[in-house]
Each structure stands twice: as structure tokens, then as C-alpha cells.
Structure 1
Amino acid sequence: MATLCRPAVAVPEHVLTLAETLELARTLHPDHPQLALATRLIENTGVRKRHLVQPVEETLRHPGFEARNKVYEAEARRRVPAVVQQALEHAELAPHDIDMIVYVSCTGFLMPSLTAWLINSMGFRPDTRQLPIAQLGCAAGGSAINRAHDFCTARPAANVLVVACEFCSLSYQPTDLSVGSLLSNGLFGDAVAAAVVRGDGGTGIRLERNASHLVPGTEDWIAYSVRATGFHFLLDKRVPGTMEPLAPVLAQLADRHGWNASDLDFYLVHAGGPRILDDLCTHLGVAPHVFRFSRATLTEYGNVASVVVLDALARFFDEGGAVEGAKGLIAGFGPGITAEIALGRWTGAGSAPRRRTTTVIGRQRSAVAGLDRAH
């Protein structure tokens, strides 16, 4: 049965604090009629710092979509391989053991996908399957895990590498002055993560069931407007309330599996903002503490899109995982409005977890602390 192993996570070396973000907002938009509202919303996100692939001075410039996409390609090639290597080591596998690579990203565009470059440059077999996913946004981390699970179910001896690469800062648009845009400028950060789903063996979460769900009539609530200047992020004010229709979906999936979604041992979910987590607490009837991994990601890195779920999983490993057979839920939420959900049990809890180190390019430092298949 497929096991989701310990992820590797890397964040860039350029740091932007909450205080610096608020000062930038006041300096760049002193006459904005809703500046006070925007800064209050940014403060309420709970984000205390973010990491950027470029210094903030470069981030604020807009040299054009072509130039930004070249930065995306260069930075992806520079930062992804080390994370992939570490994820393989965590899973005790080598590149030639991998049968498929799922690459998710919504902040740059490459064709061929970075998967082709990885296969050519890191020793993966030429017959390695490639599955790039570019348009599921923050839900793509959950989707990548689920598609890996599906592949390993069809091929029980297979191994799948999942890679998430998000440089959200490259979508900064200085001419977008809506409150939603200003809020996103203070919310999103950059990060890279990778993890292996092993078809056989491994320590981590033994995946048992997955599902997808789209909330009808919400496809324009989270979107990109693709213009000459690149990706313009559109965020509807109704998005924070989407857990009201989605929480019952999580509960129903667990119920079909014979579990109670309000009484699981661990929860690893995408943290788009604190309201998402607060509403899940209310609608699922769970204590805020159960989402501590997701809250920590939001506080220390901001919303890092598809990377969030993998970083929350890494923090779960840091805590020592859980007792053998502990039940848990993984969920990513994104454009559609789409939810990608997985259920699984902890396995191999007797193995001593390695101390977490989050890679920062240039130095190492400790981190601050639908489809429905049953198998």
C-alpha cells in the first residue's frame, strides 16, 4: 500500500517581515482610499514573515512577463534539485527507483515541463512518467499526492516523486490596487518542496482513500487573469467562507471510510488564511490545536500555495509523527473551488525522525519553529 514519506522543504534566502510589508504598503500607496482596511487585513492573516526568490527591490520591479518567466525557470532549476535529492534520501530511494514525477506549480510556465529537465539532469530513467499540473493553484499539493496514490494503486510496486515549486512573488502586479490584490501582496510567499510516495515500504502516511470535490458555481472566485504583464491574481471576497460547503465533504468522505472526521489523530490541510482554519474548527468540531502544523506554515512562510500541505506534513514529521495506525486527513483547497482530500494512517512510527532542517539557498538553518477510491 502506498506510503507518503517525509518531505523536503526549501525556502529562499530573501526574507520579508510583516513590519516591512506594512511599511511598503504605506509607502507605495499612501493615498489609497482603503489603505487602512488593507493593512488591517494583512495583519490579520497571521503571517509574520515570508521568503522571496529575489530581493524585495527586485520583486517590486516589473520588467515584463517574459523576464519574470525566465527568472522562474532559472530559480526552479537552481532550487529544485537539492530538495528532490533530500526527498529521495528520506524515502531511501535513488532516482532510478522513481516511476513517475508529478510536478505542480502555478507561478510560472515551462514547456517542456521541469520534469523533462529533472529526468535529463538527475539520473531518472528515460521511461519515467511525467505529470505536470499547472492550473490547480493551492489545491495542487493535495492533487499531486492523490495522483501519486492512484498511480501506486494501479502499479503496487511503483514509486512516485511529488515536486511543488511556487514563486508567488513573481506574480506581484504593482498596478493592481484592489483590496484583494493588496491583501495577496501581504499573504503569499515562495517555497519549494518534494516528497516520495512509495508503493511498498517507507515511513510516513499509508494512503488509503482519496477524493476530489468542486463547489459548483465558484470557478471565478479564485483565478488568474493572464495579461501582457503576466498572471494577475483574482480573489473573491466570498472565498474565506468556502469551508462551510467543504467541511461536510470532508466529513462524508471520512464517514464512507468508517471514520469520524471530528475525531482523527492528525490533520494536514492547506492554510490559505486563518479564517479557513478557524471555520474548519467550527464545522468539523475540532480544537484549534489540530491545525498547528498548517498555522505554523502560514505564520513563518505565508501562503506558499501548493507547498503548504507538504510543509505541514514535514512539521508533522518534526513532531515525531504519530503512533502506529493513527488516522489522519490531508486536504488542499484551490481554484474551482476545488478540494483534494486524502485519508491515511501513520506507519513506521518506531523509526526515529530526523531533526528538521529547512534549506535556505546559500546557507542551512533550522526552521523556525469527484474521484473517490477506497483501497
Structure 2
Amino acid sequence: MTATILRPGGSTAPALLEPEPKHHASPSRIIGVGTAVTDASYSQRTLLDLFRITDPRVRSIFLNSAIERRHLTLPPRDSEGVFRHESQKELLAKHKRLALDMGARAVRTCLAGAGIEPADIDYLCCVTTTGFLTPGLSALLIRDMGIGPGCSRVDVVGMGCNAGLNALNGTAAWSMAHPGQVAVLLCAEACSAAYVMDATMRTAVVNSLFGDGAAAIALLADPPDTAGPAPGELPGDSAGSSAGPRLLGFASHLISDAIGAMRYDWDDDQHKFSFYLDPDIPYVVGAHAERVVDRLLHGAGLRRSDVAHWLVHSGGKKVIDAVRVNLGLTRHDLRHTTGVLRDYGNLSSGSFLFSYERLLQEGRIRAGDIGVLMTMGPGSTIETALVQW
């Protein structure tokens, strides 16, 4: 703030005045979480039998994936029990149906845990990579769930498995800028609507991995008169675990040399989009994990040994192992990540929230505990967030 004062000789110059005291913004905190999946669940062996896959190489990929079951919505079968080809148009319709159903259920569960009604939502961010909608998923959910028409909204489409943390960063920023208002982030991935079935190893890897699922979290920043520590400071132990963790910071790393390692291509033979995963990408991600995690922690004056809870994207057995080895973590540290992979497969952008939900259900969080959230996906990108209960 400045004022103009009269100098000797009649000249004027600005003089600095003491700034008015300002209340710092309170960090956004997670106040609710909810997940949902599709109805049917299949073991990996059952899927091989249903699709009549006999190639021993493909069978090995399925059976050595560290996945036991996945929720999927399979195509209709003909009179001989053979699955019918689904066109890209049919897959997009499937995505819309599944994403709306799972998404609404995940949001309702999230809100119920926080004691909030749909009409209380002030901001809705929807993330998906498994289909394209215009108008977006957010507009359809606002209409269908009775969310107020004045709700601010945004759709994050096509970013892939890392997108949940990308969107959480923006949602937390909105929450901090609007204290006392409810922000909801939804990740809805109908992976059954994003596949190609052929005899190639490329599609075998993808088809062995992904499952249907949606996850939602609600965020709230306290008004300034109840704000916690200033930016850059960690909350004290008085911030109990029952209040939900505060989001203290984010860090991201783009591995530009691997920008094409995870991508959608158009398959001219199948007339639909086909997802590609480079077989070396787990090791590339693992090799860069230390850099982004240490940057995230360094900004808060922390070390890896200070982190009590690690919630990493369930990207696949190889990527989880690569991250674990490069960060010096134990299998116990990643028990929720591997448990979600075992029971659901890779749920794309919402996987880390399934792990977060399991951590809460475990009931071992203590006030003051530090947690790191990590996702990885196309770009190739590693996203991280720092939380404290």
C-alpha cells in the first residue's frame, strides 16, 4: 500500500505504508471419500477362458500380473458364446453409462461420510480418460444428482492415470480461494469402454491390467478466522486425524524423453482407439521417482523417513516394484497400493483414492502423521502431493 508525500522543493514521491494485516489462507483438507465399481467381477483366469485366449504368452501376462480380480463390463456374446465386437460409438455409450452410474454412487458415498448433501457442493471437478463427452460428465452429474445449477465445474479429460492428482491440485487451489465452500473431485474410469481385442502382445498387456472404478473426495478450507499455519509451515499435532488431512503441497515431474510411452493411437483395423504402454515405462518412472518426491518433501523440510503413509497409484506390479526399490520403501509401505491392484486392477486416475480409503479403514492414522500421494501416467508424468493429519 502506498501514499504520496510532499518532498522539499515541492516534488512528490511515493512513501511505503505498513501493509494491513492479512489472514493467510487455510490449507484445504479432505473431509470425505467414496468409491464405486461396476457390478461384475472376474478373476484373471476366468477372463482368459471367457475370451478363449490360448496363447501361452498372453496367458502368462494375465496370470503373473499380481491381479486376482477386476470389475469389468464385458461385451454381449453371440449364440456360440463369442464376445461381439463393440464399435467406438458403442464404447463411448458404454463409457457414458458406466461413468455416470459409478460416478454418482462414489460422490454420494463421499458426501454421506462428510454429512453433506449434493445441493451443498459448490465446485465439481470430474476426471476421466476412458471416454469423451460433450457436455462433460460434470454437467450431466449436476443435472442428475440435484446439485445446484450455480455449482462451478470443470472436466479434466485425456490426462490418464496421473490425472487424479493433477485435478486435486487445482481443486485444492479453488477450495483455498473459497473458504467454507465444498469442492468435490471425482475420478470416473470405465476401462471396459477403452479396449481393443486382437492377437497382439500390445493389447494383451493393456487388457490384462485395467478395471472399472470411480472415486470421489470432498475438500473444504476453513474460514480465515480458523486458519491453521501460514504457507510453508506444517500444522501442529492439534490438527487431529478425525478432521481429515490437510493438503500441504504438490510437486510434478514430466519425463519428456518418454512422452510417447503411454498413449492412445487410432487402430485402423479395429476402427477404435487403442492404448499403448511401453514395456520399459515402469523402470523409467521408478528412475525418476526420487527426484520429484525429494523435491516435494524438501519444500516442507522433511525427509522420506518422516513419511508415515505412502499411497501410490496401482499402475501395475512392475511399476509399483520400481517405485518401491527406488524410494527405499518396504512392501508394507505399499500394502494398500498392492491390495488395490490385487482386488481391482489398475483403476486409472482414481486408483490412489481407493488406497486412501483403505488407509482410513485400517484405523492406524495418528494426529500429525505425514502422507505422500503419488500417481504416474501419460506424459510421461509423475505427480505427488503432501498431506498431514
Give the TM interval when normalised to the shorter protein. Answer: 0.7 to 0.9
What SS class does the counterpart of residue 192 from structure 2 fall into? helix
* Counterpart position of 2:46: 20
* Counterpart position of 1:46: 66
Pair 1:312–1:84, CA change in 2 (3 A) = same
Per-residue CA deviation, residues 65-103 of structure 1 (Å, 9 max, x unaligned), is 111211221222333222211111112222232221110
Q: Residues 354-373 of structure 1 correspond to what in structure 2 (within 5 A)? A: none
Tell whether 2:168 aligns with 1:145.
Answer: yes
What SS class does the counterpart of residue 352 from structure 2 fall into? helix
Per-residue CA deviation, residues 195-235 of structure 1 (Å, 9 max, x unaligned), is 11122397322110112221122111000013563320111
* Counterpart position of 1:218: 258
Pair 1:274–1:169, CA change in 2 (3 A) = same
* Counterpart position of 2:348: 305
Q: Residues 322-337 of structure 1 correspond to what in structure 2 (within 5 A)? A: 322-337=365-380
What SS class does the counterpart of residue 340 from structure 1 fall into? strand
Pair 1:203–1:65, CA change in 2 (3 A) = same
What SS class does the counterpart of residue 310 from structure 1 fall into? helix
What is the identity, as a one-letter code, of the residue corresponding to 1:94? E
CA distance in 1, matches of 2:364, 2:141: 30
* Counterpart position of 1:193: 215
> Does structure 1 conserve the Cα–Cα contact (< 8 Å) formed by 2:138 and 2:155?
yes
Deviation at 1:263, TM superposition (A): 3.6
Tell whether 2:297 aligns with 1:254.
Answer: yes
Tell whether 2:105 aligns with 1:105.
Answer: no
- What is the percent sequence identity of the aligned residues? 29
What is the identity, as a one-letter code, of the residue corresponding to 1:193? A
* Counterpart position of 1:203: 243
CA distance in 2, matches of 1:118, 1:251: 38
Query: Over alpha carbons, which structure has the higher Rg?
Result: 2
CA distance in 1, matches of 2:69, 2:244: 29
* Counterpart position of 1:341: 384
Deviation at 1:60, TM superposition (A): 4.1
CA distance in 1, matches of 2:290, 2:92: 36
Per-residue CA deviation, residues 28-66 of structure 1 (Å, 9 max, x unaligned), is 4x4xxxx33333232222000101134674994323111
* Counterpart position of 1:158: 181
Deviation at 1:14, TM superposition (A): 1.2
* Counterpart position of 1:232: 274
User: With structure 1 as the length reference, what TM-score do the two structures score?
Assistant: 0.85
CA distance in 2, matches of 1:345, 1:134: 29
> Does structure 1 conserve the Cα–Cα contact (< 8 Å) formed by 2:251 and 2:385?
yes
> Does structure 1 conserve the Cα–Cα contact (< 8 Å) formed by 2:67 and 2:345?
yes
CA distance in 2, matches of 1:307, 1:73: 17
What SS class does the counterpart of residue 264 from structure 2 fall into? strand
What SS class does the counterpart of residue 336 from structure 1 fall into? coil
CA distance in 2, matches of 1:252, 1:211: 7
Tell whether 2:156 aligns with 1:133.
Answer: yes
CA distance in 2, matches of 1:122, 1:24: 36
Q: Residues 68-147 of structure 1 correspond to what in structure 2 (within 5 A)? A: 68-147=91-170
What SS class does the counterpart of residue 260 from structure 2 fall into? coil
* Counterpart position of 1:270: 313
CA distance in 2, matches of 1:212, 1:304: 21
CA distance in 2, matches of 1:182, 1:92: 43
- Does 1 or 2 have the higher relative contact order (CA < 8 Å, sep 6+)? 1
Deviation at 1:24, TM superposition (A): 4.7
CA distance in 2, matches of 1:259, 1:225: 41
> Does structure 2 conserve the Cα–Cα contact (< 8 Å) formed by 1:8 and 1:195?
yes
Q: Structure 2: any 5+ residue segments left out of the alignment?
A: 1-26, 224-241
CA distance in 2, matches of 1:56, 1:316: 37
Output the aligned Cα RMSD. 2.1
Pair 1:126–1:227, CA change in 2 (3 A) = farther
What is the identity, as a one-letter code, of the residue corresponding to 1:252? R
State the aligned residue count.
339
> Does structure 1 conserve the Cα–Cα contact (< 8 Å) formed by 2:251 and 2:293?
no
What SS class does the counterpart of residue 344 from structure 1 fall into? strand
> Does structure 2 conserve the Cα–Cα contact (< 8 Å) formed by 1:60 and 1:172?
no
* Counterpart position of 1:367: none
> Does structure 2 conserve the Cα–Cα contact (< 8 Å) formed by 1:91 and 1:198?
no
Q: Alignment partner for residue 87 of structure 2, among 61, 64, 67? A: 64
User: With structure 2 as the length reference, what TM-score do the two structures score?
Assistant: 0.82
What is the identity, as a one-letter code, of the residue corresponding to 2:109? Q
What is the identity, as a one-letter code, of the residue corresponding to 2:125? V
